[in-house]
Amino acid sequence: MGNPILVTQSSMPTIEEYINEISSIWDTKWLTNMGNIHKNFEKQLINYLGVPNITLFTNGHLALYIAIKSLELTGEVITTPFTFVSTTHAIVQNGLTPVFCDINHHDYTIDVSKLENLITEKTSAIIPVHVYGNPCDVVKIDKIAKKYNLKVIYDAAHAFGVTLNDKGIGCFGDVSMFSFHATKVFHTIEGGALTFSDKRYVDKFNNLKNFGIISPDDVIEVGINAKMNEFQAAMGICNLRHIDEQIILRKKIVERYYERFHNIKGLKLINFNQNIKSNYAYFPVIFEEKIFGNTRNNIFENLAKENIFTRKYFYPLTNNLECYKGLFNVDETPIAKYIADRVLTLPLYADLSLYDVDNICNIILKK
Ligand SMILES: *Cc1c(COP(=O)(O)O)cnc(C)c1O
270 band by pLDDT with thresholds 50, 70 and 90: confident
Q: Are 249 and 111 in contact (CB under 8 A)?
A: no
Q: From the CA of 365, how far away is ligand 1's center (Å)?
A: 32
Ligand 1 pocket test: pick from 56, 79, 155, 194 the residue with the most ligand atoms within 8 Å of its Cβ.
Answer: 155
| Structure confidence at residue 273 (pLDDT) | 75
274 band by pLDDT with thresholds 50, 70 and 90: confident
292: pLDDT strictly greater than 80: yes
- Binding site membership of 157 for ligand 1 (Cβ less than 6 Å): yes
- Binding site membership of 158 for ligand 1 (Cβ less than 6 Å): yes
Task: Please compute the mean of the pLDDT values over residues 276-303 and round it to a whole number.
Answer: 95
- Over residues 331-365, the pLDDT tens digits come to 999 999 999 999 999 999 999 999 999 999 999 99
247: pLDDT strictly greater than 70: yes
- Over residues 85-140, the pLDDT tens digits come to 999 999 999 999 999 999 999 999 999 999 999 999 999 999 999 999 999 999 99
- Binding site membership of 59 for ligand 1 (Cβ less than 6 Å): yes
Which of 287, 293, 337, 333 is closest to 314 using CA atoms?
Answer: 337
Which H/E stretch holds residue 5?
A: none
| Structure confidence at residue 213 (pLDDT) | 97
Task: Please compute the mean of the pLDDT values over residues 134-163 and round it to a whole number.
Answer: 98
- Over residues 30-55, the pLDDT tens digits come to 999 999 999 999 999 999 999 999 99
1 band by pLDDT with thresholds 50, 70 and 90: low
Task: Please compute the mean of the pLDDT values over residues 214-230 and round it to a whole number.
Answer: 96
Q: From the CA of 87, how far away is ligand 1's center (Å)?
A: 8
- Binding site membership of 87 for ligand 1 (Cβ less than 6 Å): yes
Q: What is the mean pLDDT of the chain?
A: 96
Q: How far apart are the first and last CA of the chain?
A: 22
Task: Please compute the mean of the pLDDT values over residues 304-328 and round it to a whole number.
Answer: 96
- Binding site membership of 230 for ligand 1 (Cβ less than 6 Å): no
Q: Are 296 and 343 in contact (CB under 8 A)?
A: yes
Whole-number Å distance between alpha carbons of 177 and 190: 14
286: pLDDT strictly greater than 80: yes
2: pLDDT strictly greater than 80: no
Q: From the CA of 2, how far away is ligand 1's center (Å)?
A: 30
Which H/E stretch holds residue 114?
A: none
- Binding site membership of 83 for ligand 1 (Cβ less than 6 Å): yes
Q: Is the peptide bond before 316 cis (omega within 30 degrees of 0)?
A: yes
Q: From the CA of 66, how far away is ligand 1's center (Å)?
A: 14
163: pLDDT strictly greater than 70: yes
Q: From the CA of 288, how far away is ligand 1's center (Å)?
A: 27
Q: From the CA of 91, how far away is ligand 1's center (Å)?
A: 13
Residue 164 bridge partners (DSSP): 167, 276
CA separation, residue 239 to residues 51, 94, 169 (Å): 19, 32, 20
Which of 198, 185, 136 is closest to 164 using CA atoms?
Answer: 136
